Structure 1
Amino acid sequence: MPRIILDCDLMKFPHSGLYHYCQNLTQHINSLLTEENQALMQMYLPPRKKLRLIEEPHHLIERKWHKFIQPFLKDCQLWHAPFQSGRIVPNKRKFPHVKVVLTIHDLNFLHEGKPANYQEKSLVRTQTLIDQSDAIICISEFTRNDVLTHCTTNGKPIHVIYNGLNPLPQMDDDVSIYKPGREFLLGLGYLNRKKNYHVLLPLLQSNTDLELIILGHHDDPDYVVSMRNYAQKLGVDDRLKLPGTVSEAEKIWHLRHCKAFLHPSLAEGFGLPVIEAMQFGKPVFLSRLTSLPEIGGDSAFYFPDFSAVTVQEVYRQGMKAYETSSMAASIIENTKRFNWEKSARQYLAVYQSLMS
C-alpha cells in the first residue's frame, strides 16, 4: 500500500475540534487498513513536547530540519492537508508524484462580519492551498457551496464527507467543576463573538428557575467581560456560569443532565457539539445560519432572529413541543447520519481514486 500521510500539525492544540478530527480520522482509517492488511496511514505530528499522544509506530514527528529536507515524502503517494488555512508540505516541483487532498471545514470568515481586507487575505490563503491540491473534501454541503461560489477549483473533484460522531458513554461520574443545583441550559464551544451566546441571556429573565452554563475555552476575553456585564444589566448574572474548559467526563455529565442545548452560532462548518447533545435526546436550539440547519435537520428548533422576544418565544414553543411529544427518539435518530467508520470509508475512496 502506498504511504498516506495526514498532516496533524494542529494537534498541538489539544482542546480544538481539529485535534479530535485528526485523531478520529486516523483511528478509523487505520482500522479499515488493518482489516485489509495494508500499511497504516501516518500522522505527521508536531514536536513531541507539544503532544499528549502516546507514541505509536504510525507517528511521524516533525523535526526542525524538515524545513529543508523531507525524506519521508520519497515514498509518500498521498498527503492529506486537513485545514483550509493550514499548510501543504510537499513541494510539487520536488515531489511531483505526491497527490494532495485538502479538507475545507468552512469559510466562516465570510459570515462573521470580518473586515473586507481580512476576508480577502483569508480567501487568498485558501485559494493557494486549493491550487496545490488534487482533490478537495468539504465537511458540509454549505461549505462546498461556499467554496464553489468564492474560490476557483479548476475542475478538481470536490467531495462532501460529514464528520463522524463517536458515541459518548452514558457515564454519570461526579464532576469536579461547578455542579448546578437546579435545571440548566447548556452551551458548548469556544466563548467568542462568533458563538453569539449573549443572545441567550434573556431566557434567564423569562425562566427564573433556570441557569445557563457555557462550557469551553474563553477564546475572546473582551467578549466574556461584555457578556458578564450584559448579564448583570439584565439582573441574571448569578445564574450565568462560565466554567471554561472541562474534561470529557465533565462535558458528558452536562450534556446528559441539561434541560436543553443551545447553539446560536453565527458561523459553523459543521457543529459537532450539536449532534453530541442530540445523541442524548436533548432538545436543541440553533441559529439558521451556515451549516447548522443541515446538521440539526428537522429534529432541532431554530431562531429566525436573535431579538429577546424571538429567542424567548422559540424556546417556549420548542420546549412545549418537546415535552408534549416523543421527540427524543427522532433526535437520537438524526445523529445516526454521522458515523466515523462511514466517513473513513469515504475518505479512503477519495485517496484510492487519486492513487490508482
Structure 2
Amino acid sequence: MSRIILDCDLMKFPHSGLYYYCQNLGEHINQVLAEENEPFVQMFLPPRKKLILRPEPYHLVERKWHKFFQPFLLDCRVWHAPFQSGRIFPNRKRFPNLKIVLTIHDLNVLHEGKPEPVQQKSMAHTQSLIDQSDAIICISEFTKRDVLANCYVGEKPVHVIHNGVNKLPEVTGDVVGYKPAREFLLGIGYLNKKKNFHVLLPLLESNPDLEMIIIGHHDDPHYVDQMKRLAQQLGVEKRLHLPGTVSEGDKIWYLRNCKAFLHPSLAEGFGLPVVEAMQFGKPVFLSSFTSLPEIGGDAAFYFPDFDANVVQDVYRQGMQEYETSNLSEAVITHAAQFDWAESARQYIAVYQSIID
C-alpha cells in the first residue's frame, strides 16, 4: 500500500458527526491494514488542542507552516477529502501524480428549503471538489443518485460505502442528567427546522402516559422556541424535555431505556442515530425522505406525511406490530450490517483501484 493521507481537518469540531466519522474511518482502516501487515493510512489532524484522541504513530498533526510547505505530500499517492463542503489541501499543479478521493455525505442543501443563492454557492463548492477528484464515495445510494442528478462527474467512478456503526458499550449506573419519571420517546439530533422534531408533539397529546426527550445541540434557538410554544398550545410542555447535548454515557442510557426512537428528519445523508437505536432492538419511526428508507429498510416504520393524525396512527400501529410480532431481534440483525471493519475494507479497495 502506497502512502495515503486522510484529511481530518473537520475534527477541529469536537463531538460532531464528522469528528467521529473521521476517527472511526481512520482507526478501522488502520486496524484492517495492521492485520494485513500493510503500512498505516495517516490521519492529517488539526492542532492537538482540538482533539480528544490519544496520540498514535499514524497521526500527522497540522502545523501553521504547512500552509506553505508540505513535505509529507512528496511521497503521498492518495489524498482522501472526507466531506463535500470541506477542502482539498494539495495543489494538483504541484503534485500532478497525487490521486484524490472525495467522500460526499449528502446534498442536503437542496432539500432544506434554503434560498437559491445559498444552494448555488454550496453546490458550486461541491462541484469544484468533484472536479479535482479521481474517485468519489457516497455514503448512501440516495446520495449517489442525488450527486449524479445534480453534479457533473464525467467518467469518474462513484462508489457507495455505507458508514459503519460502533457497537455501543454497556453503561452501568443511572443517567447523570435528566431521568424521566415514566416511559419516554427519544429523538437525537441538532434541533433545527431540518430535523422536523416538532411534528412529533401530537404523540404526547394522544399518549398522556409518555414523556419525550430530544437530545442534541440547540442549533436554531428560534426553532427551539417554536417547539416550546407548540408544546404549550398542546398542553404537553411538562412532558417535553430538550436537555441539549449530553454525555455519551447518558446518550446510551436513553437509547437503552426509551420506548421508541423517532427521527422525522427532512434531509439525511445516512442517519447514524437510527442505527444506534436499532442496536438496542428499539422500534424506530422515520420520515420517508432522502436516505432514511435505505438505512432503516424493512426494520423501521415510516411517516408518509406529518399530519398529526397520520403521525399518531403510524406510531400506534407500528408499536402494536412491534410488540405482537416480537421484532426486536430482527431490528438488531438489521443494525449489524453497518460494520466499520467492512466499510474500511471497501475504502481500501477504492484507494487501491486508483493507485494500480
Q: Aligned residue for 1:175?
A: 175
In 1, are the aligned partners of 2:184 and 2:258 still within 8 Å (CA)? Answer: yes
Q: How many Å apart are 1:173 and its aligned residue?
A: 2.5
C-alpha contact 1:78 1:98 (8 A) present in aligned 2 = yes
8 Å CA contact 2:305, 2:311 repeated in 1 = yes
Paired letter, 1:321: E
1:211 aligned onto 2:211? yes
Matches within 5 A, 1:148-297: 148-297=148-297
Q: Deviations over 1:3-53 (max 9, x none)?
A: 111010111111211111111111111011111222111111111222222
- CA deviation vs aligned residue, 1:158-197 (integer Å, no higher than 9, x gap): 0000000111123243111000010000001111111000
Give the 5 Å matches for 1:60-75: 60-75=60-75
- Counterpart CA distance in 1 for 2:270 and 2:223 is 23
Contact residue 173 and residue 249 of structure 1 kept, 8 A:
no
Q: Which amino acid aligns with 1:147?
A: V
TM-score, L = length of structure 1: 0.98
Deviation track 1:262-292 (CA, whole Å, cap 9, x = no partner) reads: 0000000000100100111100000000000
Cα distance, 1:336 vs structure 2 = 2.0
Identity across matched positions, percent? 71
Aligned to 2:22: 22
Deviation at 1:325, TM superposition (A): 1.1
Contact 2:168/2:252 (<8 A) preserved: yes
CA RMSD of aligned residues (A): 0.9
What is the SS of the residue equivalent to 1:126? Answer: helix
2 CA distance for matches of 1:19 and 1:61? 15
> Equivalent residue of 2:103, what SS?
strand
**Distance in 2 between the 1:260 and 1:47 partners?**
40
1:233-274: CA deviations, max 9, x gaps?
111110000111111111110000000000000000000100
Paired residues of 2:14 and 2:50 also in contact (CA < 8 A): no
| CA contact 1:106–1:143 (8 Å) conserved in 2 | yes
SS in 1 for 2:5: strand
Cα deviation, residue 58, structure 1: 1.1
**Residue 104 in structure 1 maps to residue 94 in structure 2:** no
Q: Tell me which stretches of 4 or more aligned residues in structure 1 moved more than 4 Å.
A: none
**Are 2:122 and 1:122 aligned?**
yes
Residue 40 of structure 1 corresponds to 40
Q: Which moved more, 1:271-280 or 1:332-341?
A: 332-341
Q: Give how far 1:205 is off.
A: 0.3
The one-letter code matched in structure 2 to 1:309 is N
Instruction: Give structure 1 stretches of 5+ with no counterpart.
Output: none
How does the TM-score come out when normalised to structure 2? 0.98
Q: Report the equivalent of 2:327.
A: 327
Q: Tell me the secondary structure at the aligned position of residue 167 of structure 2.
A: coil
Distance in 1 (alpha carbons) for counterparts of 2:337 and 2:270: 13
1:91 corresponds to 2:91: yes
State the SS of the aligned residue for 1:337.
Answer: coil
How far apart, CA to CA, are the structure 2 residues paired with 1:215 and 1:84? 26
- CA deviation vs aligned residue, 1:122-165 (integer Å, no higher than 9, x gap): 11000000000000000000000000000000110000000001
